[in-house]
Amino acid sequence: MTERTSVDIGWQKLGTALTHTGRSGVPAEGSYVNPPLERGSTVLFPSLESMARKGQERYNHASIYGAMGSPTQHELEKLIAHIEGGKDCQIVSSGLAACTTPLLAFLKAGDHCLLTDSVYGPTRRFAENMLQRFGVEISYFPPCASMAEVEEYVRPNTRIIFTESPGSHTFEVQDIPMLADVAHRHGALLFLDNTWGFGIFAPFEHGVDVSIQALTKYPSGHSDVIAGAVTVADQANWRILRDASIQLGQVAGPDECWLTLRGLRTMGVRLAHQARSALQIANWLQDRPEVARVLHPALPDCPGHTLWKRDFTGAGSLFGVVLNTTYTQQNMERMINAMRLFGIGASWGGYESLVLPTTGGITRDFGEEQPNDPAFRLQIGLENVQDLIADLEQAFNALHHAP
Ligand SMILES: *Cc1c(COP(=O)(O)O)cnc(C)c1O
């Protein structure tokens, strides 16, 4: 490989913001380093007038009741908005709620929502069940479509283009400025599930209107939190989002917010390390005879590499591996079962390595876009990289042995 690929520039740059943002009141004399964890439902006021005044400030992260968000949540909202480069952020109960809440906020019966075919599975399920039931039209576009092709999928009533880059199973990198251009020319909004790109893809500099994060992944980082974030760049959109979140009762518990703030303080160094390990393992896998393709955008052979280089300042620790046609799905499943350091389980972005099959578990409208040969997804954690490679090597041996 002659091309020098840096996967950790963005992560290195984040350190100062991650250390100092979201710590209001610090340093005040005699205060702790971290904002306090404040649990509560009732908020007390000295008078009815002061309660009414506070209620007017709901767009300014003020709460007159715990369901509007705790002070701990509001600190987290400041930090996420800052990293995403947006105006304001609403924390919600899960990454999936971060997908569904803005869809409910911005769509109405009769609208059309155009989604990438590579969208996160549960978002697809929500669109096809709830949104359709409420009279919203749903359709998909192929994740690698050109501008002219995407235009063909837009309808007069398209209100939202919903995308995810790269797709969290098949890793197609999207041309976000192009999609923003198409959306805005048709009077639609561009939603991006930016979970893979948190901190290394600046959504609002690329024309995104609503950016979505599963805080469950990199930000909390320790596989002990479920939470999500929705960030917008525009005051009118912020009011719509904030109103909908309050109407839906969308918040995250203060403990989840506090743990996420704590996780974020070390996210830069965690991810710099994990991204480097992931690239090293991806390179190692690429040279294995059992492997047909490695779906990692930082690899020059990966179809999304050019867009990734243009738009991202780093890479994540999650990527895909497609095996050679010689192997069956059962071969691969035996290989996965033989892995010792890679846990078998949903999610990613924690400190530990994980594996999941890709084939057999995802739905696509455009069949030719997904791998037909057995494929799996790796999340690379903080283990010693040589130990992880040794584990993969012994698992490849299981692939060779017939059942
Ligand atoms: C995990 C994930 C979500 C959902 O997050 P949860 O907190 O698990 O609900 C949404 N989008 C992407 C891309 C994810 O990987």
Q: Hey, what are 346's tokens? A: 């949903």
Q: Is 226 in the pocket of ligand 1 (CB under 6 A)?
A: yes
Which atom of ligand 1 is closest in space to residue 96's alpha carbon? 9
Domain boundary among 265, 285, 312: 265
Query: Are 97 and 228 within 8 A, CB to CB?
Result: yes
Please state, in angstroms and rounded to a whole number, the distance separating the CA atoms of residues 191 and 162: 5
Cβ atoms of 321 and 285 within 8 Å: the answer is yes
pTM assigned to the model:
0.96
324 SS3 class = coil
What's the token pair of residue 124?
């697809």
162 and 283 in a single domain? The answer is: no
| Together in a domain, 235 and 362 | no
Residue 2: predicted pLDDT: 41
Number of structural domains, the chain? 2
pLDDT tens for the chain, 403 residues: list them: 444 568 988 988 999 999 988 887 666 788 888 888 999 999 999 999 999 999 999 999 888 999 999 999 999 999 999 999 999 999 999 999 999 999 999 999 999 999 999 999 999 999 999 999 999 999 999 998 999 999 999 999 999 999 999 999 999 999 999 999 999 999 999 999 999 999 999 999 999 999 999 999 999 999 999 999 999 999 999 999 999 999 999 999 999 999 999 999 999 999 999 999 999 999 999 999 999 999 999 999 998 999 999 999 999 999 999 999 899 999 999 999 999 999 999 999 999 999 999 988 788 888 655 677 899 999 999 999 999 999 999 999 988 876 5
- 304 and 273 belong to one structural domain: yes
354-357 β-sheet, strand order: 291-295, 318-323, 375-379, 354-357, 343-344
Same domain as 177, residue 79 = yes
**CB of residue 95 inside a 6 A radius of ligand 1:** yes
Pocket test of ligand 1: the residue of 119, 191, 216 to mutate, having most ligand atoms within 8 Å of its CB, is 216
CA gap 78, 251 in Å, rounded: 15
Residues 276, 260, single domain; the answer is no
pLDDT for res 1 = 44
Domain stop point among 265, 292, 317: 265
The residue whose CA has the least distance to atom 4 of ligand 1 is: 95
Calpha distance 69→77 (Å, rounded):
10
Q: Strands of 210-214's sheet, edge to edge?
A: 88-92, 228-232, 210-214, 189-193, 158-164, 112-116, 137-141
Q: Are residues 116 and 260 in the same domain?
A: yes
Vertex 15: Cα angle to 223 and 241 (nearest 5): 65
Atom of ligand 1 nearest to the CA of 164: 13
Confidence at residue 29, expressed as pLDDT on a 0 to 100 scale = 80
| Same domain membership, residue 369 and residue 246 | no
> Which domain-ending residue is among 265, 283, 316?
265
Structural domain of 369: 267-400
256 lines ligand 1 (CB under 6 A): no
Residues 42 and 171 in one domain: yes
pLDDT at site 25? 61
Please give the distance, rounded to the nearest whole angstrom, from the Cα atom of residue 193 to the centre of ligand 1.
Answer: 9
Domain assignment of residue 14, yes or no: no
How far apart are the C-alpha atoms of 395 and 261, rounded to whole Å?
A: 36
